[in-house]
C-alpha cells in the first residue's frame, strides 16, 4: 500500500482543494492530511474562518481523504512520515524546495496549485465586499442625514 501525506490549513474549502486532494490521492492508495490546528495557525500569524474541528470534519467527508491528523508544529513531519509509513510527502508547488530535506525518508513531490483560486484570494474578495457594502451603507446614511437636514431646514 502506497501512503501519501500532505499538510495544510484547508480553510474555506473550495474546488482548488478538491482538485489538489484528487491529484494527491491518485499518487497512491491512502491519503493522510495533516491539518493545521488553530494553535499552530496562530503561531504562524494566521487564523481560519472555520475551527480545526469544522475543517477536519469537512476534510474527512472528502472522498479522496482517508485520514485527517492534527498538525501542531513544523517539526512533526518527520515523525509523521515514520509513524504512518509514508511513501510520498506531497505539497503544493508554492512550497517547492521547502521540504526537500525529507527526501531521505520518502519521495517528496510538489504539485501545481489550481490556477485562479486560492483561500487567500477568496478572503480578500470577501473583505473587499464587506468594505464595499460598508461604504454603501455609509453613503446611504449620509444621504439620509442630508435629507433630514433639508427637511428640518424647510420647516
Strands of 21-149 (E only): list them: 30-36, 67-71, 88-92, 107-111
Catalytic position from the list 2, 44, 83, 96: 44
Q: Which is nearest to 34 in space by CA: 75, 67, 61? A: 67
**46 catalytically annotated:** yes
Query: Phi/psi of residue 91, each to 5°?
Result: -140, 170
Catalytic position from the list 42, 46, 130, 139: 46
Q: Tell me if 27 sits within 8 A of 52, measured CB to CB.
A: no
> What does the longest C-alpha to C-alpha distance in the chain come to?
84
**44 catalytically annotated:** yes
Distances from the Cα of 3 to the Cα of 12, 29, 57, 89, angstroms: 26, 6, 21, 9
Q: Which residue has the cell 530535506?
A: 101
Q: Which residues are catalytic?
A: 44, 46
Amino acid at each position: 500500500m502506497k501512503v501519501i501525506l500532505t499538510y495544510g490549513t484547508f480553510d474555506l474549502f473550495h474546488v482548488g482543494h478538491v482538485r489538489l486532494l484528487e491529484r494527491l490521492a491518485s499518487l497512491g492508495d491512502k491519503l493522510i492530511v495533516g491539518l493545521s490546528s488553530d494553535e499552530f495557525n496562530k503561531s504562524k500569524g494566521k487564523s481560519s474562518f472555520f475551527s480545526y474541528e469544522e475543517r477536519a470534519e469537512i476534510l474527512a467527508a472528502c472522498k479522496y481523504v482517508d485520514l485527517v491528523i492534527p498538525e501542531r508544529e513544523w517539526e512533526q513531519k518527520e515523525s509523521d512520515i515514520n509513524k504512518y509509513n509514508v511513501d510520498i510527502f506531497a505539497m503544493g508547488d508554492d512550497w517547492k524546495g521547502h521540504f526537500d530535506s525529507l527526501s531521505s525518508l520518502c519521495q517528496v513531490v510538489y504539485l501545481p496549485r489550481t490556477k485562479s483560486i486560492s483561500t487567500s484570494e477568496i478572503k480578500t474578495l470577501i473583505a473587499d465586499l464587506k468594505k464595499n457594502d460598508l461604504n454603501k451603507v455609509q453613503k446611504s446614511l449620509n444621504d439620509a442625514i442630508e435629507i433630514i437636514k433639508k427637511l428640518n431646514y424647510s420647516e
